[in-house]
Structures are given as structure tokens and as C-alpha cells.
Structure 1
Amino acid sequence: MPIDYAARRARLAPVLGLQPDELLLVGAGRPIPKPELSDQHLPFIAHQEYYYLAGHAEAHGGIIAYDPQAGAWTSFVPEVTEMERVWDGAVQLPGEFLGRFGAWLAARPGRRIALLGAPIDGVAADESLTARVRDALRHARRPKDAGEIELLRRCAAATAEGYAAVQPFLRAGVSERRMQIELEAGFFRGGATKTGYDTIVGVGRQAAVFHGSPSPDRLARDGDFILIDAGGELDRYVIDVTRTYVAGGKPSAFQRDLYAAVKNAHARACARCVPGAEWKDIHFGAAIDLVGSLVDMGVMKGNPSALVEQEAHMLFFPHGVGHMLGLGVRDAGGLEPGRTKDPRPCLRSLRMDLILRPGYVATVEPGLYFIPALLNDPVRREKYRDCVNWSLAEQHLQVGGVRIEDNMLVTEGAPVNLTAAIPQAF
């Protein structure tokens, strides 16, 4: 189902709150030269706000302009040169040539300008207007339309093919890099055009490194946790999934209990993704569930709710429970209109403070980790000396961690797990 960008712009115009004496300009950005003596550039990525309104991924320097006085949108695109046609096979995009933008702007003197996307040479933006319009656009983008949901479903299917392809390689003697290669090849065979972000593969202790890069030198050993956080991309829309497996498929009793703790918290958090739910409540609910399991396992001591209130959960669950997803990772997150950032340290990494609504797509990714940098910190040891069975925690400093992440679509009824087809460990 192709996305009708003209219809999208028409739908959005009234909610941006622009007055007749104002203008909206949205810049695509320009290519960045590689840091070397060559004529090459880094891969161009049009600014997300521009792409959402224009749908042109390759419009170097492109501008979308809206004049509320006329109620009209105008797309200014670069004129393709003969060299670009010959060397790159470039095709001319529809719209007005960029060379006409100056005259268009000069014909509208004295207007306050909201400037979204990338900066535009020679354009001075009104900062307060820009901030207000950006907030309005971000909030309007949060519910995904039918075309976006279809893209995410296709991307989820491609991602599932990658996770299926890597299954035979989740064994001792296989490197993180080899797993990455097999996984990403499966994404591309399934129809993905790119990876949605840098693939994360961590074996053993490395499974507790949130943004670890796969290494050809780290090999899985029998019984190691293998954490994979990866997803495909299709037309700029991204799937973001994490699975944790065990090399050889034979976990220890402690690993099985740790995995079950995360799996239980994950299932309960996914079920809470319904209209009207507060994301912070889902986050804290997951934290209490995780801590409750750690208490049952003898790793933590005390009442789970009280431990979370003390922020002791951050020793083992130091990140947020998830974020918005769609046109890129962490798409259109942030704050509910009218809210300010919650200052509590335990919410520093929570990517959004929103009320869930139909059409929202969010990741749900609770995890438990044994991170030496946190657990060996003397300040934390003293602060939480009565909250943790430190001798037991020390015995498992090499275990790594467990994270399970799925992508949930909020509907009028029960939430839909877009990534349910991707296999879990057990």
C-alpha cells in the first residue's frame, strides 16, 4: 500500500497551528563529503521530518514549503545534471526546481518562519515558532497510518527471515561476526533494503554490553548467552528486535531462571500496551516484575516495589522499557504535550513519557544484566548494601544478560505483536 504524501500533507496542515503570517520550511539536508581527498560523500539520508512530508529519500538540498495563507504546499527539488544521469542513473524528481525557491520566499516578505528538518542556507528561523510546530508535527506523526503499518509488517517479515537464518549458527565456536553476516543476509533475502541500525551481537559477558559491535574474535562457548539486537529497514521504516539465546541450547538453572524473569516481565509489559496506558506505568510495572523475580532467585532482598522506589533495580535493569518505532529507531518519541521531563535519575534513559493511543508502535524490551561496571562500583555497593545478595551477584558477573524485545502496535482492542514470528530461546 503506497503512502499518499500529498494526502498526508493535507491532513497535517490544520494541526500544525500555522497562522496566515507564518511559513513552514522543511529542509532535506545536503550530502557530507568523506573526510579524505576524494569526490566521495557519505551515504545521504534525507532528514526524517522532510522525508515524512515529501517521501523523497534522495533529494539533496530538497525543501518542502507550506504557505498557510494560500493553503498550498510546494516541493522544491534539485535539478538532475547530465553527469548525475550518466554516472549515477539519477532520475528527475517531481516538483519545482530548487533554483526557484529564492523567488518563492522573496514573494512572501516579513513572514515568521518555522524551519524544520535540516538548515537551509540564508533562512532565518523563528526559534519559538519552530519549536511549537516541531512539537505539533511530532505528536501528529505518532499514530501510524495504514501505509506505515504495512511497511512495518513487511519489514518484520524480512527481519524474521534473518533471525531464522541465524539459528543454525547459535553454537559454540561461531563468532559474533559470523552470526551477524548470516542474520543480515537473511534480512536482505527477506526484502529489507538495509539494516535499521548497527547490528548488535554479544556472546557471554558481551551480552550485557548494550551497543556492542560484533567481533570476529569473540567465539561463543557452550552455554553462553547470545544476545542479538537487530532489525531490517524498508523505505526508511525500521524493525527493532532483541532475542537472547543460549549457545548449544542448554542453559544452566540460573540462566533459565534469569531468562524466565525477563520473559515474564516482557509478556506482562506487552499486554499493557493498550489505549490510555501511561508509558511510565508500563516501565515501572516491568521493573517491579523483574525485581520480584530477582528476589525469588535470591539475588535481591526486600519488597520489589520498595526496591524500585529506591531505584535499586537500576543495578540490573538500567535502561528504559522501550521507545517509539517507525520512521527510524526511536521515531517521534518524547513527551506528551504539556509535560516536562521527569527528573528522577531512574527515568533518564526512558525515551518517552506518553499516553498510548491507537496506531502507536512501541518497542517493549525489558532486560536483566550483570554489568561489572555497575556491580563493582563501591558507591552503589554501599548505597544498596542491604538490597543485594552481593556474594551471589559476584558469582554471575560473567553471565552477561538477557533482553527480549518486540514491536507492539496499539489498537482499539488488544495490542498486536508485529514481531511475534521471530523465535525465542525457550
Structure 2
Amino acid sequence: MTVPAPSFDGDHDSLVTALARAGRAAQTQLAQLGSAQRKAALCAAAKALRAQESAILEANARDMAAGAERGLSGAMLDRLRLDPGRLAGIADAVAAVAELPDPVGQEIDRTERPNGLVLSRVRVPIGLIGIIYESRPNVTADAAALGLASGNAVLLRGGSEAVHSNRAIHAAMVAGLVEAGVPAAAVQLVPNQDRAVVGAMLTAAGLIDMIVPRGGKSLVARVQADARVPVLAHLDGINHTYVHAAADPAKAQAIAVNAKLRRTGVCGAMETLLIDALYPESASLVAALLDAGCELRGDARACALDPRIVPASDADWDTEYLEAILSVAVVDGLDAALAHIAAHGSHHTDAIVTEDTVVAERFLAEVDSAIVMHNASSQFADGGEFGLGAEIGIATGRLHARGPVALEGLTTYKWLVRGTGQVRP
């Protein structure tokens, strides 16, 4: 069934209420579809994305031109940009989600009480999920795919930077979903870019079941401060790589350069490099980054390694650059590295490079981040790389879901109690 998009007359609360009610009605229908139907719908959506390549790339070109005119940074433009390869990757990710095991109805555990009651916990959809995001048009497709696959309806509010791209991707996906029998309102895109709509979404308790913010610190801070709806937060990626004294120099250099420069605008990019004072190849490590075009801002001992390193300010240790800028500190061993990460990290992704497995295991155990790595680039902080298909974001909190949030993270559970006539004494 196709649900017409609500009209907008300037009343943001009424608009969000209408969208949410349509989404909740669609989610009720979606919950009645089996795994095979939802899988077929995702495949149809992926096919529609490929078929609409020209229209989507044309829309993206409009966004890119507007972004350049507005003075968006290189990193922001990189997040925004689509090309045939990236769009194919978006469609492939939607198709990959279709092949993932369906979490809905999955039994988590089962117990039998002494009185004969059989209790089980099963996964169920959360309901209607509001996703507020900036810059990245791929989130439109990822969120739609993950919502559908987990039995949830989604209400998307993308950033103004990607407005044309988001609309084109949304239109293509909905066309595919409707063709496969999914109600159009299962995936809705807010039809205007007024910031007041965000406020209306945040206070729509009882209509929207969860909010997922994806964007900069100011967006996430506003969502957490103003929301009357549960929030699954994705905070800054102030990610560290600690090169221990026992690091293999070839691994250390390759990992550091990749972690920072593969794509500077992704949330898994390294933002601070910690070098052990006893690591013997410190100068060549920083030289490799500098030679690759990265600006380094260091403490006094880091500045002494290469004259091209500029002094860091206090703010640098707490900055998510998302461009080719890196803060560098020389630390006196593992304890100092752990203390620096605890003081300045964002609990997103932190890595150690070392051949000392005892040190590595202590780092893995003691760093309190959603993702902790040994001898690997922080750029692997991605749901696709974790085998989860697409992701809705990387949660840095401690409740409900943590790390890349995919299908399982978009479900909750309920208890099923089966009896044979028991009454409580």
C-alpha cells in the first residue's frame, strides 16, 4: 500500500506526527511480512538503485556544486561525493543486508522454571526509528535497508548538504520496495530541511521509538540534550593508534598511514598517534606521514622528531579533524598511553601496534572503547568490514548496543511465557 507523504504547511509538530503515524502503521504491516518477502524487497531496492544511477549521480552533482560554493571542507565533500563505484557499493550493501540472517523472532535463550513454566526471550523490532544525519547520502540507503531487514520502519532526516542525493536515493529505494509489496511509509524521508523538524522529532515520545543521530559533535549534543525519545548515540571518532616499543616498524608505518589517510573523513580515521618513547623508528614513522601530505601537530618530544611538525595546542588532543591533520604525542610506555586515551578518547576506536602479546592483551582489556584493535588499522571500524552488512552507525555508549550497529542492534526482545495452567501461590 502506498501512503501519500503528508503535506507541510509550516507546522513542524503536525508534520512529524503525521509522518510518525504513517510510519507506525507501515511498521505494523511490515511485521507481518516474512523473511523471504523482506529479502525480496531489499533485492528490489538494490536493483532500483542501480537502475537509477544517472538520476542519483546527477542529484549528487548538484549537492557537490552547492557544497563547494558554500565552502565545505575537502573531508566534508569527500563524505558527500558519489561516483559510479561508490553508488555500486551502496547498492551492493543493500543487497548484502538481504543475505544476512534475520534476527526477528530469533530465540535468545530458553529456561524452564521448577513450576513447569517455560520462559524464552525472542528478538522483535524496536518499532519506528528516527535517523538524523549529516552529509553522507549512503546513510539513506543503509538506514532504509537495516530498518526493513530488522522489521522496523524508519523516518529519515538528512542534512541539507545532501538533500538532492538523499531524495534521489530514497525515491529509487521506495520504488523498489513498493514493487515488492512493502508499504511506502516503511521508509520515509522528511520532506523539508527546516531545523525545527529535528526538534519535533526529538520530542515525539510515544510516536518515535528511538533516535539515531549521525553527524558532528554539535548535532549529537543537541540530540542528547533535547531528546524525549531514547537515543542511540554515535559520538566523535577521536581515535588513537599507540605504537608500542615492540612494534614491527613496517607494520607500524603501514597501519599509521592507512589509519589516517586512507579516507580522512570517516569516523574510523585515526586522529591521534601515540609513539612509545622507546620505539626505535619514531623519526621514520612521522616522516612517512608528513611525506604523504599529512600535517602533524605534536607535543615537545614529537616536534623534536622532525622540524616539519608544528606544536599542538591543548585543543588538538580533543579534536576530530576529519582531514589530513594528526596530533602526535610521545608517551612513556603503556600506562601513559592508556592514561592519554582515557583522558582524550571518545570511546569509539583505539588501536595498539606491538609484537608483545602480553602488552597487546592488556591494552585490549583496559581500553574502554566500543572497538579496540591490535595490529590493525582503525579504518576497519565499519559494519561492512565486521561482516554486518551496512551499519546505522557506531554506538559509543554502554547500553543496548555498542560498536557497529546493524540488524541485531536494531532489535529489542520480549519474554514469552508458556504454561500449562500454573497459578502463583
* Range of TM-score over shorter length: under 0.3
Bigger proportion of residues as helix: 2
| Relative contact order, higher structure (CA 8 A, sep 6+) | 2
TM-score, scaled relative to structure 2: 0.26
